[in-house]
Structure 1
Amino acid sequence: MKEYQTITEISGPLVFVEVDEPIGYDEIVEIETPDGEIKRGQVLESSTGLVAIQVFEGTTGLNRKASVRFLGETMKMPVTEDILGRVMDGSGQPIDGGPEVVPEERRDIVGEAINPYSREYPEEFIQTGVSSVDGMNTLVRGQKLPIFSASGLPHNDLALQIARQATVPEEAGDEGEETEFAVIFGAMGITAEEANEFMEDFERTGALERSVVFMNLADDPAVERTVTPRLALTTAEYLAFDKGYHVLVILTDMTNYCEALREIGAAREEVPGRRGYPGYMYTDLATLYERAGRIKGREGSVTQIPILTMPGDDDTHPIPDLTGYITEGQIMMDRDLNSQGIEPPVNVLPSLSRLMDDGIGEGLTRDDHADVSDQMYAAYAEGEDLRDLVNIVGREALSERDNKYLDFAERFENEFIQQGYHTNRSIEETLNVGWNLLSMLPKSELNRIDEELIEKYYEDADAIEAEA
């Protein structure tokens, strides 16, 4: 163990130390203040004679008389199957009043990239119970599908609903046993009120028993937020690839994580990229998102749902922009739908799941899934366009056909998207609601659905409409 008392500068969350021998990148550091307080840090930059350290607990109370000890190892997460049901702080220390974690092993939090040859292509349907996701933007096991939201929207409620309800059918098309997910929840920079809401929901629903929570609050050091998601993902990889769990990782809020990167970059006096964010932010985010997936020959899987709030509702902002490039789609929350009381307010038109086609269809969900999704998407898009036209010419100027599409758009929002945060719809129920809505349109308008499927399902939907 190497110890120095050669601090030259303290800048924001960073401490600069002169050294006389090589120090490893990412090496863990202990800093002891003159009054005996111990702070932990990590080597952020190492050059000849000078080391930059990011301090997890912040640099308040530090001065140049502090002692710096380099521990000679990188940060590791203690992992064990018994960690399920535990609540940790943002640096991996238990805060639930329980005993210390007795690990089976300690793993480097940076993780190891999945060999592309060993990566199994994601194509197994995950039933979230949310129609706007299952029916229109299907989540697949091993996928990374972020929620793009904005300040004041109920993205946390949607995330909790998916965490409670997400299941993987044991066999395609089998309505028998289903496998629940183990949930790894990583919170970065959330308020104490939000943290209490999450914990109350986890405890009330019993989901905490199959969850591990990492909690970095808004008043915790910002630099700790760069560690929290890596601790969560290391735990997820262990449970998935060593213990065979299907793991759902929810990370919120990635915007706070990126703000921490910007703060550290400013303290290091780096040349900023777009809007002041570091030029390497794309690479940094990729090191997190690409840890989702499946490995050939391993039973488990890691599925990610990162949540980010778009600053100023701007989907061209660097954070959602770069996230969209790395991940396989996005679920878009909509402020107008939220103001109408639609729960969850998911706008299916700009939403996308790039792996949906591989996770649905005959033998996976139901043979009409793809066609129904395409037809509803087209009908809703036409109804939305006609709403703009109504504002100009009035509804009376539209044809009977156009008015049916307007009615479809309204009912689609109020019956298909609207379901509340405590309704768990099976894929059968979701598609039946879809056929019920499509029965509003003449058969001649269903040009995206195979005729055999229309004959098989349309009459049933027509009967349901008549009974209603």
Structure 2
Amino acid sequence: MKEYQTITEISGPLVFAEVDEPVGYDEIVEIETDDGRTLRGQVLESSEGVVSIQVFEGTGGIDRNASVRFLGETMKMPVTEDLLGRVLDGSGNPIDGGPEIVPDDRIDIVGKAINPYSREYPEEFIQTGVSGIDGMNTLVRGQKLPIFSGSGLPHNDLALQIARQASVPEEEEGDDEGSEFAVIFGAMGITAEEANEFMDDFERTGALERSVVFMNLADDPAVERTVTPRLALTTAEYLAFEKGYHVLVILTDITNYCEALREIGAAREEVPGRRGYPGYMYTDLAQLYERAGRIEGKEGSVTQIPILTMPGDDDTHPIPDLTGYITEGQIVMDRDLNSQGIEPPINVLPSLSRLMDDGIGEGLTRGDHADVSDQMYAAYAEGEDLRDLVNIVGREALSELDNKYLDFADRFEEEFIQQGYDNNRSIDDTIELGWDLLSELPKESLNRIDEDLIAEHYREDETEAAEVSAD
């Protein structure tokens, strides 16, 4: 252990100190202040003779007389299966009044990159109970599927709904039969009110029993925000690859995380990139997102749902833009649907799950899932286009089929997307509802569904069926 009293500068969350020996990157540092407090930090940059240290608890109370101790090790997360049901702060310390954590292991929070050769291709379905996701943009085990939201939209409600409802259907378990499901919830920069809502919901629904919650609040140091998701993902990897759990990691809000990166970059006087964010933000986000996946020979999996609020609802903003490059799709929340009272307000048209076709393939008994999804997407897109035309010419000028597409679009939003935050729909319920809606359209317009499936599932109108029978 090396100790110095050579602080030369304090800038925002950073402390600069002179050293006479090499110091490792990411090395953990303890800073002892004059009033007896011990603050923890991490080496952010190390060059000959000088190191910059980011202080997790903030630099308040630190002066040039403070002692700096370099511990010779990187930050590690104490992990154990007993973490399930616990609530921790953004630095991994228990805040739920429970007993001290007795770890089985201590793992470096940076993690190890998964060897691409050892990755298993994600192709097993995860049921969230939300029709807008399960039916139209299916989540797959080992996938990273972000939610693109906006300020004031109910993404927290959707996150909680997924956290308490997500499961692996029994018929999907196969060789993994007996594997358990766990949720890691990492909150970054949220308000105390939001934190209370999260905890009330977790405790009320019993979801906390299978969850580990990390809470970094808005008034906590911004630097801590850069550590919170790494602690959460390290815990997820331990449960998945050492204990065989299927782990769903929900991270909210990635925008707050990126703002912390920008603050640290400004304190380091780095040359800014787009809109003032660091030029390395793409690499930094990739280090988080790419920790999702499955490993050959391991039972468990890590699936990620990062949530971000797009500043100004701008999907070209650097945060959603870079996230879209790294991840396998996105779920988009819509302000217009929210104003109509649709819960959850998921807009399926700009949403995408690039792994959906693999997750709903031959491994399922629901062979009609893909066809129904494709047909509903096409019909809803047609109805959306016709809504613009109606504003110009009125419904009377449209054909009977066009009016059916308009009715379909309305019912799709009001019955399929609209389900509330307490309604847990199975995938079979979702597909059945899809057939109910598609049966409002003429059979000949269902050109994306196999004829045998139409014959088996299409609901004939009772009056029409009687007329056909009479003929």
Place the TM-score, normalised by the shorter chain, in its bin: over 0.9
Q: Is the 8 A contact 1:43 1:53 kept in 2?
A: yes
Q: Deviations over 1:146-190 (max 9, x none)?
A: 00000100011111111111111233499xx99662110100000
Q: Could you tell me how far apart the structure 1 residues matched to 2:316 and 2:306 are?
A: 17
2:468 maps to which residue?
none
2:327 maps to which residue?
327
| AA in 2 matched with 1:454 | I
Q: Is the 8 A contact 1:125 1:365 kept in 2?
A: no
Displacement of 1:464 in angstroms is: 12
Distance 1:129 1:78, change over 3 A: same
Q: Is the 8 A contact 1:436 1:465 kept in 2?
A: no
1:105 maps to which residue?
105
| AA in 1 matched with 2:277 | Y
Q: Could you tell me how far apart the structure 1 residues matched to 2:285 and 2:7 are?
A: 31
Distance 1:76 1:179, change over 3 A: closer
Displacement of 1:364 in angstroms is: 1.6
Displacement of 1:35 in angstroms is: 1.1
Q: Could you tell me how far apart the structure 1 residues matched to 2:462 and 2:5 are?
A: 81
Q: Runs in 1 of length 4+ with deviation above 3 angstroms?
A: 177-180, 461-466
Q: Could you tell me how far apart the structure 2 residues matched to 1:465 and 1:423 are?
A: 33
Q: Could you tell me how far apart the structure 1 residues matched to 2:167 and 2:342 are?
A: 24
Matches within 5 A, 1:46-195: 46-172=46-172, 181-195=181-195
Q: Is the 8 A contact 1:141 1:301 kept in 2?
A: yes
Secondary structure of the corresponding residue to residue 196 of structure 1: helix
2:349 maps to which residue?
349
1:254 maps to which residue?
254
Matches within 5 A, 1:381-420: 381-420=381-420
Q: Could you tell me how far apart the structure 2 residues matched to 1:334 and 1:464 are?
A: 38
Q: Deviations over 1:273-307 (max 9, x none)?
A: 00000000000000000000001111101000000
Distance 1:267 1:365, change over 3 A: farther
Aligned length, in residue pairs: 464
Secondary structure of the corresponding residue to residue 216 of structure 1: strand
Displacement of 1:399 in angstroms is: 1.1
Q: Deviations over 1:86-131 (max 9, x none)?
A: 1110001111111211111100000001111110000001111110
Secondary structure of the corresponding residue to residue 377 of structure 1: helix
Structure 1 unmatched runs, 5+ = none
Secondary structure of the corresponding residue to residue 303 of structure 2: strand
Q: Could you tell me how far apart the structure 1 residues matched to 2:100 and 2:93 are?
A: 8
Q: Could you tell me how far apart the structure 1 residues matched to 2:438 and 2:392 are?
A: 27
Q: Could you tell me how far apart the structure 2 residues matched to 1:275 and 1:221 are?
A: 22
| AA in 2 matched with 1:146 | P
| AA in 2 matched with 1:352 | L
Q: Could you tell me how far apart the structure 1 residues matched to 2:58 and 2:391 are?
A: 54
Displacement of 1:316 in angstroms is: 0.4
Structure 2 unmatched runs, 5+ = 466-471
Displacement of 1:463 in angstroms is: 6.0
Q: Could you tell me how far apart the structure 2 residues matched to 1:464 and 1:303 are?
A: 47
Q: Is the 8 A contact 1:436 1:464 kept in 2?
A: no
Q: Could you tell me how far apart the structure 2 residues matched to 1:60 and 1:270 are?
A: 23
| AA in 2 matched with 1:123 | E
2:274 maps to which residue?
274
Q: Is the 8 A contact 1:167 1:178 kept in 2?
A: no
| AA in 2 matched with 1:322 | L
2:13 maps to which residue?
13
Secondary structure of the corresponding residue to residue 347 of structure 1: strand
Distance 1:433 1:462, change over 3 A: farther
- Segment drifting more, 340-349 vs 386-395: 386-395
Q: Could you tell me how far apart the structure 2 residues matched to 1:356 and 1:49 are?
A: 52
Q: Deviations over 1:313-369 (max 9, x none)?
A: 000000000000000000000000000000000000000000000000343250111
Q: Could you tell me how far apart the structure 2 residues matched to 1:259 and 1:462 are?
A: 55
Q: Is the 8 A contact 1:173 1:363 kept in 2?
A: no
Q: Is the 8 A contact 1:172 1:365 kept in 2?
A: no
1:374 maps to which residue?
374
Secondary structure of the corresponding residue to residue 168 of structure 1: coil
1:235 maps to which residue?
235
